[in-house]
Amino acid sequence: MVRYQRGRLTAATGLLAIALSCVGTEVGNPQDAEVSLEFQGVVASSSTALTLASGIELREAWFVFEEIEIKGGADCDEEAETEFAGVNVVDFISGAQYPGYDLSLIEPGSYCQVNLHIESFEIDDLPRQAPSELADLTILIRGQRSDGKHFELSTGSGEALVLEGAFELMAGREKLFVAFAVNQWLLEEELNEAEGDEMIYINSDDNPEIFAEFIGRLESTALLLRDENQDGVLQPSEVDAPLARGR
């Protein structure tokens, strides 16, 4: 049986969920929606790695976020747009996030889109807890193939990941997750063809075909999910009912 549990690696689900840091602990105005987005992983086998059914193991999956935007209107017919700005560094495997977003209250109502902006920064502009390897990078993924050979995927290119779908935010507490179907990021047959000596590097210069496939699939693997019972644990029924999907 597949279990989805906060901050634990419990089953080879092929799904990696995040949320983006919490706001306060009290609901002030009942007319507001207090939306909580805290980073967390839902993965497999240990607290330090995600093992997919293909045998690919992911040890780190760092993303550098510049901002998040949530657009109002069921059909994006409103000008209302809520932005959460500031550099935020996240490892989807361990759930580490530095420093996290301090979200302000969002009005209840209809929404249509979530935009996740990832961007590169110099080391001095990154949170002090961020790994130094993230300087000038937007994504850094490390792991190993099923045969044990290590790989590293990296890019410094900015990306805007757009998740679309009409959804409602209710008054009171809301806990949302962004999840990635990580078993679609790097396919076993592709990695098995990758070239490299001691280490397989995947970027715009090394193994560029595999890199291009990863970038091309990234947005489409993203989901916006609601934690219906507010327990911080993603249930299969919650995963199967996304509020929005990557284009």
Per residue in 128-158, pLDDT (tens digit) is: 999 999 999 999 999 999 999 999 999 999 9
Closest CA to 37 of 75, 67, 78: 67
* pLDDT exceeds cutoff 70 at 115: yes
User: Which of 5-9, 28-32, 181-185 bottoms out in mean pLDDT, i.e. has the lowest?
Assistant: 5-9
* pLDDT exceeds cutoff 90 at 127: yes
* pLDDT exceeds cutoff 60 at 164: yes
Break the chain into its structural domains and give their ranges: 16-246
- pLDDT value for 105: 66
Q: Which two tokens stand for residue 151?
A: 């790989």
- pLDDT value for 19: 52
- pLDDT value for 170: 81
**Higher local confidence (pLDDT), 32 or 246:** 246
- pLDDT value for 103: 64
* pLDDT exceeds cutoff 80 at 73: yes
User: Which of 27-36, 164-173, 201-210, 214-223 bottoms out in mean pLDDT, i.e. has the lowest?
Assistant: 27-36
What's the rounded mean pLDDT across residues 80-91? 86
Closest CA to 245 of 168, 180, 169: 180
* pLDDT exceeds cutoff 80 at 40: no
SS3 assignment for the chain: CCCCCCCCECCCCCCEEECECCCCCCCCCCCCEEEECECCCCECEECCEEECCCCCEEEEEEEEEEEEEEEECCCCCCCCEEEEEEEEEEECCCCCEECCCCCCCECCEEEEEEEEEECCCCHHHCCCCCCHHHCCCCEEEEEECCCCCEEEEEECCCEEEEEEEEEEECCEEEEEEEEECHHHCCCHHHHHCCCCCCCEEECCCCCHHHHHHHHHHHHHHEEEEECCCCCCCCCHHHHCCCCEEEC
* pLDDT exceeds cutoff 50 at 30: no
Quick one: what percent of the chain has pLDDT higher than 90?
Answer: 41
* pLDDT exceeds cutoff 50 at 11: no
State the Cα–Cα distance between residues 123 and 134, nearest whole angstrom: 7
State the Cα–Cα distance between residues 214 and 197, nearest whole angstrom: 21
- pLDDT value for 107: 80
**Higher local confidence (pLDDT), 223 or 106:** 223
State the Cα–Cα distance between residues 235 and 226, nearest whole angstrom: 10
- pLDDT value for 15: 60
User: Dihedrals φ, ψ of 184, to 5°?
Assistant: -100, -5
Q: How far apart are the first and last CA of the chain?
A: 30
- pLDDT value for 223: 86
* pLDDT exceeds cutoff 60 at 198: yes
Please provide the average confidence, as pLDDT, over all residues in the chain. Answer: 80
State the burial class of residue 219 (Cβ atoms within 10 Å of its Cβ: 0-12, 13-18, 19+): middle
* pLDDT exceeds cutoff 50 at 6: no
pLDDT digits (tens, 9 = 90+) for 51-68: 887 889 999 999 999 998
| 230 three-class SS | coil
pLDDT band of residue 184 (cuts 50, 70, 90) is confident
